[in-house]
Structure formats: structure tokens, C-alpha cells
Amino acid sequence: MSEEQIKNPGTEHSRSLEAQFEARILRDEKIEPKDWMPEKYRQTHIRQMSQHAHSEVVGMLPEGNWITRAPSLRRKVALLAKVQDEAGHGLYLYSACETLGISRDELYEQLHTGKAKYSSIFNYPTVTWADMGAIGWLVDGAAIINQVPLCNTSFGPYARAMVRVCKEESFHQRQGYEIMVKLTQGSPEQKEMAQDALNRWWWPALMMLGPTDAESIHTEQSMKWKLKRKSNDELRQQFIDQTVPQAELIGLAIPDEDLKWNEKTKHYDFGAINWDEFWQVVKGHGPCNKERMAARVGAWERGEWVRDAAMAHAEKQTTSLKKEVS
């Protein structure tokens, strides 16, 4: 042991671990759960991955609202499959998060007590069937743009979960866009429904990609760790550039008077986002925050007997296995 390590145990050693870790990130190596990682890296991943998992699970609620009222059997089957996929995404993400040494119960508790956030977008109501189209097209569309770069994120279990999630998200986006296409080809009332849904979901979808880069607190560090591969503003611009032609193709108008193609930048310029609204929703004062949390907490409480029964069964199995072995 060097003199420095005797005087200051751990310091030099942890500096060298940190240097090795940074070098691995620079080489684009995946960090795996049992590898050494800085505590802040671990915490930041727990924060982002758990919020992502919570968003998937809370995100089932606005669409779940329409399963029993889908206009045809085909629409019902597709919506049901989509909502089940979201439950699956939540489960992969919770499992990936548990590899960082936090339990599922702790993660749920953070959601139920409001300590952990979930995406602002799911605090808006789904008032007509066209909202199923707008969510698939815009919300899943924004989610794909955000999540494709995450397939390359530095933490192995998160990156691998994202590969499957993205495949499923692209089916979700297409089923949403197809609903919009059909509505715009229908009666004037149906076309109006589609336009109204776009009007209500457009701005929240832009907000969903997070605060501006100037306001974002985590982006700089998360980009260095290659947790985030693109900034919130870059993703938002990409989403707008991709979505505007899709709206034009089906004859819908983006509800933004300042939206204009910029020949110089080769991007769309767009109007001011109402960030006050975004922060109000994030702080719990959106149209449906209370309803969403009540639904999640209620499901947790009503499920207590199932968890107890499963644990009792597992304990019984373990005891009988132990008896067999001895």
C-alpha cells in the first residue's frame, strides 16, 4: 500500500476506479450492474429509469379509459395489446432498475408518495376516441424519438430494455397515426375530432421531452455519462421536423401560428411553449394528477391480498424444498 493510501485510505483507490470508469464510458463500453460505478451515476440511473417505468405504468390509465368503448373489435384488440405492452415496458424497466440495488417496493413507494415523478403528459384527460389516435401518433412518436438514442445508453440493462421497448413503440405510433388517418377520411365531425385532439395534445407532447436545455438540470452530466445521448431541445426539434409533414399529409393543422420552415437551418421554427403550464403539471397541479395517483395507490392497496398470498405460497415452497434437501 502506498503512503498516500495509508494516510488517506480509499481516496487514491477510488480516484483510480473513477478514472477507469470514465475511460470505459469514453470507449463506449457498457456498464453492467456488478461493475464499479460512481454513486451519482447509480442514483441518476435509478431516478431516470424509475421515472420512465412509472410513466409507462401511469401511461396505461388514459388509454385504459377507452378499451371498453373502442369503436370496433379490431381497434379494441390493438388498443388492448398496446396497453399491455406498456405494462411490459414498466416491468422491464423496474427489473433493470432493481439491478442497481433498489427494491420494487421502494420504487413504488417513491411513486405513491410523490417523491418520484412520472411523465407530465399522462396528466391530461382522454375525452374522445380521437385521443387514442393522438396519443399513439404524438406521445409514442415523441417517446420513440427520445428512446431510440437510449438503446445506446451506457448502462447495459437500460440499453437492452430499450431495444425491445422501441420496437413496440413503433407499432404503437403506427396504430395511433392510422386512427388519425381514418378519422380524417371520415365525416366532417370525425375530421373535427381528429383536429381537436391534435390541438389538445400537440403542446403537451412538446413539453413531454423535458425543459429547455437552458433550464434542464441533469442534461450536462447525463450526456457526459452517455445516459442521455441527445439533449431535450435536440429531441424536440427532431420530433417537430418529423411530425409536421405527417400532419400535412392527412390535412390536419398544427396549432402553432409561428410554425414555419426555416430554409437556412433546415428545421421548423416554432412558437413559444407554455413552460408555466409544464411546471404546474410536474408539481402535481395538472388536470388529472390527483386522479392518476389515486388510481395507482388504490391499485396497490387493493392488490395487498394478492402480494400476501404470493409471498405465503413462496415461503411454503421454500420450506418444503428445504425439508426435501435435508
In the complex, the residues that contact ligand BYC under the rule CB under 6 A are 47-48, 51-52, 55-56, 59, 86, 117, 119-120, 135, 139-140, 143, 146, 208-211, 216-219, 222, 228, 232, 282
Rounded to a whole number of angstroms, the minimum distance from the CB of residue 43 to ligand BYC is 11
Largest CA distance in the chain: 82
* 35 residue type, one letter: D
Rounded to a whole number of angstroms, the minimum distance from the CB of residue 7 to ligand BYC is 37
Measured from the CB atom, the residue of 153 and 191 that comes closer to ligand BYC is 153
What is the distance between the alpha carbons of residues 171 and 188, in angstroms, rounded to a whole number?
Answer: 27
Helix (H, G, I), strand (E, B) or coil at 155: strand
Burial of 39: CB neighbours in 10 Å, binned 0-12, 13-18, 19+: exposed
Instruction: Residue count of the chain, please give it.
Output: 326
Rounded to a whole number of angstroms, the minimum distance from the CB of residue 193 to ligand BYC is 20
Measured from the CB atom, the residue of 9 and 114 that comes closer to ligand BYC is 114
Measured from the CB atom, the residue of 86 and 256 that comes closer to ligand BYC is 86
Asked if residue 164 lies in contact with residue 85, where contact means CB atoms within 8 angstroms, the answer is no
CB atoms within 10 A of CB 57: 21
Helix (H, G, I), strand (E, B) or coil at 10: coil
The residues near 109 (Cβ < 8 Å, ≥ 6 apart) are 115
Measured from the CB atom, the residue of 4 and 220 that comes closer to ligand BYC is 220
Rounded to a whole number of angstroms, the minimum distance from the CB of residue 99 to ligand BYC is 17
Rounded to a whole number of angstroms, the minimum distance from the CB of residue 192 to ligand BYC is 24
Rounded to a whole number of angstroms, the minimum distance from the CB of residue 277 to ligand BYC is 12
Measured from the CB atom, the residue of 184 and 219 that comes closer to ligand BYC is 219
Residue 98 host element (H or E):
helix 73-98
Asked if residue 232 lies in contact with residue 262, where contact means CB atoms within 8 angstroms, the answer is no
Measured from the CB atom, the residue of 157 and 210 that comes closer to ligand BYC is 210
